[in-house]
Chains A and B, each alone.
Chain A
């Protein structure tokens, strides 16, 4: 039916298209729609890629193979996990289904959070684009990489101390993890059932992630259209406000971590380097779209805690760059 509607639209006679092209919404409504659609079209390929990699981890690789080859010491283990993004450069939207797949495949909650927070920054595409944009100027690349690594590991360490890690997850996902770790892999060696399970993972993951993505995109678009950016831009030259303003901008813009360096480069003349670093670290880990996506897996309370810790550490990093570097 969907195919038919679009085919009909594409093949409709010229006068119908003319009538439709005369139809227009008020500018702000139209722009909200354009922005929301652009986020969805840009993000969905990465979501699909993340789901496919998640299916590889859950169905195609032997159960727990990744977890088995990692160091046993918890700190070294999380440090290694925070570098997994070097092999799974799927952008932050795709990292959510992948992190869910890791948890079903045997990672602990804190290990998955570490991956989720580190992978958007510690992956080859982000490193290359940040280097292309800034080179070694102002230590921005180094601050971003070290900051991302440190924040992901500190947050992972904090959550590893939680007495009941399962309570950090939504009830639905906690059940899915329990099923994944105890059963549901009885046909793992059956090639037919692997395809079948891959399809099932696609159905289940898209049923959770896609509504969240639509909501996140709509919120991102509405915020962009109705919050004047001039308020933020006026704060660029103050060492403290530049950091906070850029974090607010990163939260609103929700631009992909793979290319956010090119975006923020244009603000380099307005904002101090600490503000740029805070944007590049905070925005890669937490923004309006990511919160909607992560809410599919973690409780609101968990997300609030993650946002506060990541926010404070990103701000501290930005201030350190502004005052010390």
Chain B
């Protein structure tokens, strides 16, 4: 068999099962190590794991298949597709093993604009209103505060309410020296659709103490933002800022 034909045969016989094997094993590994949530919404966990197991059975059957495989005619496009697919596989495969799975960073939060989407449903507002009614304001998460801020920017409404929020640090686009967001990503389906939401914190020269992407817990009260340039009219004036570990479930749903 000439080398080009041998390569085509090899590609057609093995590339699908090998690529499937890598994805299936990676999925099972992420699922069993509790890291699947870094990539997809929890509603897909059971389906994804079940299909990974079924995929593993099919991959095993694919490897075990003895019958002589008849390679079909392969055009230039398919050959190119194979080449690029294999290179991408190598890059992603090596990266998945070497680089630890992680959340999206502040770079994506900036690119997608904090609070430009991700919330705005009646359910969010209703849930936030219910929690406000309980009087236990420190239980409100970033998501609920952002929802409330979207409803009202009247400082009087927030005067007697202390917020305690956990998220990663990302700078305000308009006044990055004085204001940063305690931000989280809202995920609908998978990390691709993650929308950054965040509560603004007014702290001049915050970069001296905190780095972008640090996970922090901020306690403080909302006030009219001192920064004239900031994106939001209100901001938390911090009483206490603690460094915290990234939560096991860094996204919000």
A residues with a Cβ closer than 8 A to B are: 2-3, 5-6, 9-10, 17, 20-21, 23-25, 27-28, 30-31, 33-42, 44-46, 48-49, 52, 133, 170-172, 175-176, 195-196, 199-200, 202-212, 214-215, 218, 220-221, 224-225, 228-230, 233, 253-256, 258-260, 262-263, 265-270, 295-296
Q: Do B11 and A170 touch across chains, with their CB atoms under 8 A apart?
A: no
| A-facing residues in B74-101 (Cβ within 8 Å) | 74-75, 77-78, 81-82, 84-86, 88-89, 92-93, 95-101
Question: Do B190 and A206 touch across chains, with their CB atoms under 8 A apart?
Answer: no
Given A39-B192, A202-B61, A225:B13 Cβ within 8 A: no
**How far is it, in angstroms, between the C-alpha of A234 and the C-alpha of B11 when the chains are bound?**
46
Contact A253 B192 (CB under 8 A): yes
A265 to B17, CA, bound (A): 38
Say which residue of B24, B73, B89, B99 sits within 8 Å of A30 (CB atoms).
Answer: B99
Q: Are B190 and A48 in contact (CB under 8 A)?
A: no
The range of chain B's interface size is 35 or more
Most chain B beta-carbon contacts within 10 A, residue among A21, A229, A254: A229
Contact string against A for B residues 61-81, beta-carbon threshold 8 Å, 1 for contact and 0 otherwise: 110010101001111011001
Complex partner residue of B16 from A45, A172, A208, CB under 8 angstroms:
A208
Which chain A residues border B29 with CB–CB below 8 Å? Answer: 6, 9-10
Contact pick for B191, options A35, A200, A218, CB 8 Å: A35
Q: Is the CB of A214 within 8 A of B19?
A: yes
- Is the C-beta of B182 less than 8 angstroms from some C-beta in chain A? no
Min CB gap B50→A, angstroms: 8
Interface residues of B (CB under 8 A from A): 11-27, 29-30, 32-33, 36, 38-41, 44, 47-48, 50-52, 54-55, 58, 61-62, 65, 67, 69, 72-75, 77-78, 81-82, 84-86, 88-89, 92-93, 95-108, 111-113, 116-121, 186, 188-193, 195, 213
Q: Tell me, rounded to whole Å, the shortest Cβ–Cβ distance linking A84 to chain B.
A: 21
**A266 and B118 within 8 A (CB):** yes
Contact check, B189 vs A263: say whether CB atoms are below 8 A apart: yes
What are 17 of the A-B contact pairs (CB < 8 Å)? Answer: A2-B22, A20-B98, A27-B107, A30-B99, A37-B26, A44-B23, A49-B51, A204-B12, A210-B16, A211-B85, A214-B84, A214-B92, A221-B192, A230-B116, A255-B192, A262-B188, A262-B189
Q: In the complex, what residues of A have CB within 8 A of residue B118's CB?
A: 266
Of the candidates B84, B103, B120, the one whose C-beta lies within 8 Å of that of A268 is B120
